Amino acid sequence: MGTELLERCRIAADIVGQLFLDEPQGPLLDALSDPSFLQSWPLEDNTSQQAITGLLQAERDTAEALQRDHLYLFIGVSSPLAQPYESPYFSKDGLVMDDDTAAVAAFYHQVGFAPGADNLPPDHIGLEFRCISHLCALALNASGEEARTAALGALKTFTTEHPARFAEQVLGCIEKHANTAIYRALPGLARGVLAAVETL
């Protein structure tokens, strides 16, 4: 069961991370509008499934609406409606690129996670969810029990010390401001990933 849940969490965390980083396009947008894909969403907890039910009942979002939602939520015209960076929530002056940014970057280096987003500070919530996916993969591919235990420990520590401590603030703002079905579903899908990590 642990291995199966790890694989499910890996897939869900990767998709959730992508949705924070960019509006869905092409195959991902098609998948999130496809009932057969949605009904096989990897996480089966109530929170994830409520979000999936909302998507199943909604009209397909247009590419333009998703682009606008992502822009206003996470980039902003003057400031984002749902600040996606960890450091402003804990910096005395609300700064991006503060101490938490350096801590996250150091952790990525330690576990061999390459964010692949040179223009973004590493403490973007989307990159942190992608790191959860990376750590699940490390645990799945571990060569022995000791390596698997170490990867699981790193996964739980990282999730607790980074995304889990500010995600609710981001998700609450998304719930308040999102206009598209996919971004209205994102908080539930993200909470499902965080809950899955707790049970591993």
What is the average per-residue pLDDT within 48-71? Answer: 98
What is the average per-residue pLDDT within 10-36? Answer: 97
Predicted pLDDT at 95: 74
SS3 124: strand
Looking at the DSSP bridge assignments, the partners of residue 85 are 124
Distance of alpha carbon 4 from alpha carbon 41, whole angstroms: 13
What is the average per-residue pLDDT within 37-63? Answer: 98
Predicted pLDDT at 77: 86
Average pLDDT of the chain is 95
**8 is written with which tokens?**
């499910």
SS3 128: helix
Distance of alpha carbon 182 from alpha carbon 56, whole angstroms: 10
Fold entry, domain 2-199: TorD-like (1.10.3480)
**103 is written with which tokens?**
């801590």
SS3 85: strand
Predicted pLDDT at 97: 77
pTM of the model: 0.96
User: Cβ(151)–Cβ(139) under 8 Å?
Assistant: yes
Distance of alpha carbon 85 from alpha carbon 143, whole angstroms: 34
pLDDT, one tens digit per residue, over 118-176 is: 789 999 999 999 999 999 999 999 999 999 999 999 999 999 999 999 999 999 999 99
Provide long-range contacts, Cβ within 8 A and 24+ apart, for 148-151: none
